[in-house]
């Protein structure tokens, strides 16, 4: 087992809108500075020749291949063929992504031939909305054509509407600065300009339900970052690596709504995406009980250290509604379609405690699990290392190449070091060991504002696009 992982490689809430955190996007190391504007045209070359060339051009940064202004690790012995994509960069705990403003894990067009879809962001001036804007600015499948927000922002340019409240670490994309913000309540005006929308608003639950259903009934599909519809029986709540098949409930939802194209799909709670992916490959051993304690970053509340001074030198042992979500939503993810509804799984039994901790980004879970058939430790590690889901099989642009990474070091994973693994879209696991009360215990980590929020919604949209649900 690698010291760094199974592969050997190793954020203020604004009124009316959901929270989102900040992510640093930068090219790693001196190679970025020397090779930022370098374009390499190559045919069929042996890898050693490529390494030698890059070492010369990038100050002996051997082992990195500069393609389309990205720095990518290029394994020994692999040829570079025109039109092929080298593997995704592993960030090795540096907290760096491959390209400023790029969607997490982007490799290009992927293996599925894709047309471009026109997309809109409802709630575009808020934190989550801003993150969506950065992820969509250069997406290979999605073209941002509409931005919508509250009535007070409508009619202004996006730059004017956001003003000094731009919270991302990368500059506002040039192509959106002069876009005129639409009124999110004017559903027909927004829907007429797009093929589907991302929704990231902070309103009362019933108001969100009504707004999202209004878009769906206007024949505009909705990919939601909100929680309002997560437990609606015919609304798929999807983590693409886990329950991609749940999108098959959409025809039933369309019948209920009376639509031909319109529907709603949602992503799960952000904290679930730390521990449920780690449990999922182990279900074959019969998980019976699971206890989880989550240690959640302040960006999950839409806060920074400047806007949340009470968190400094402190831990707050309560997050409203979070424990119920942590105990109930996994069962829907593991449920099955029966007729016109998704029926949650009967088990395992979950109990959770959720704490807010002084961390900017990254939710951690401490997991205790009991099995019907207790596996060997080596079997668990093998299951994590080999796990791939539909997101990887379809080569979706935002999907991590290796979804689950195990760290053998006793002090890993850590949010500061590991939250940006695979550009914030992977899950980190560590400290697997037998327990005196349960069978095993371990810790896990995910980036709550990428994998857990906007990035996860973009990945879900990619799955829906690949399966033809926007056509």
Q: What is the dihedral of CA 327, 457, 132, 140, to 10 degrees?
A: 160
139, 363, 405, 447: the active-site residue? 363
What count of other Cβ atoms lies within 10 Å of the Cβ of residue 24? 14
Q: Catalytic residue among 80, 199, 270, 290, which? A: 270
CB atoms closer than 10 angstroms to residue 434: 10
The C-alpha atoms of residue 66 and residue 68 are separated, in whole angstroms, by: 7
Q: What are the helix (H) ranges across 72-193?
A: 127-136, 158-162, 174-177, 187-191
Pairwise CA distance, residues 81 & 45, whole Å? 8
Strand partners, 66: 71
Dihedral, 48, 54, 57, 59 alpha carbons, nearest 10: -100
Give the span between the Cα atoms of 209 and 341, in whole angstroms. 17
**Euclidean distance between CA atoms 74 and 89, whole angstroms:** 9
Q: Is 199 a catalytic residue?
A: no
Using CA atoms, how far residue 395 sits from 107, 198, 466, in Å, is 8, 21, 10
Any residues with CB less than 8 A from the CB of 419 and at least 6 apart, and which?
95, 361, 362, 428, 445, 446, 447
Beta strands in 38-164 (DSSP E): 64-67, 70-73, 117-122, 142-149
Local structure of 431: helix, strand or coil = strand
Answer whether 352's CB lies under 8 Å from 294's CB: yes
**Cα 415-93-40 angle, rounded to 5 deg:** 140
Residue numbers annotated as active site? 270, 363
């Amino acid at each position: 087992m690698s010291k760094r992982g199974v592969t050997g490689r190793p954020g203020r809430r604004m009124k009316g809108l959901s929270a989102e955190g900040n992510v640093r996007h930068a090219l790693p190391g001196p190679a970025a500075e020397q090779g930022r504007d370098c374009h390499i045209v190559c045919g069929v070359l042996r890898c050693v020749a490529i390494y030698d060339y890059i070492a010369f051009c990038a100050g002996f940064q051997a082992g990195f291949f500069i393609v389309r202004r990205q720095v990518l690790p290029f394994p020994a012995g692999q040829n570079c063929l025109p039109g092929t994509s080298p593997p995704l960069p592993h960030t090795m705990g540096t907290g760096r992504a491959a390209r400023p403003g790029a969607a997490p894990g982007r490799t290009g067009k992927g293996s599925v031939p894709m047309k471009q879809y026109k997309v809109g962001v409802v709630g575009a001036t808020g934190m989550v909305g801003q993150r969506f804007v950065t992820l969509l600015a250069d997406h290979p499948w999605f073209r941002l054509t509409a931005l919508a927000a509250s009535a007070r922002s409508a009619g202004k340019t996006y730059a004017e509407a956001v003003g000094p409240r731009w919270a991302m670490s990368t500059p506002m994309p040039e192509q959106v600065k002069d876009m005129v913000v639409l009124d999110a309540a004017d559903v027909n005006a927004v829907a007429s300009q797009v093929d589907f929308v991302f929704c990231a608003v902070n309103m009362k639950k019933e108001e969100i339900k009504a707004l999202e259903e209004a878009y769906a009934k206007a024949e505009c599909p909705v990919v939601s970052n909100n929680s309002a519809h997560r437990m609606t029986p015919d609304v798929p709540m999807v983590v693409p690596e886990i329950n991609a098949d749940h999108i098959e409930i959409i025809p039933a939802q369309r019948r209920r709504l009376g639509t031909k194209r319109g529907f709603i799909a949602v992503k799960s709670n952000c904290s679930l995406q730390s521990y449920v992916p780690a449990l999922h490959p182990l279900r074959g051993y019969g998980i019976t009980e699971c206890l989880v304690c989550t240690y959640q970053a302040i960006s999950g509340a839409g806060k920074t250290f400047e806007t949340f001074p009470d968190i400094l030198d402190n831990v707050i042992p309560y997050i409203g509604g979070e424990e119920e979500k942590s105990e109930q939503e996994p069962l829907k993810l593991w449920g099955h379609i029966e007729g016109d509804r998704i029926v949650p799984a009967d088990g395992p039994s979950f109990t959770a405690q959720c704490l807010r901790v002084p961390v900017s980004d990254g939710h951690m879970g401490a997991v205790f699990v009991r099995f019907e058939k207790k596996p060997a430790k080596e079997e668990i590690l093998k299951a994590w290392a080999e796990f791939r889901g539909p997101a990887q099989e379809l080569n979706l642009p935002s999907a991590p190449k290796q979804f689950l990474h195990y760290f053998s070091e006793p002090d890993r994973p850590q949010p500061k070091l590991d939250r940006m693994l695979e550009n914030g879209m992977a899950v980190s696991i560590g400290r697997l060991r037998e327990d005196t009360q349960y069978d095993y215990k371990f810790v896990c980590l995910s980036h709550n504002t990428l994998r857990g929020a906007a990035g996860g919604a973009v990945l879900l949209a990619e799955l829906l696009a690949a399966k033809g649900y926007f056509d």
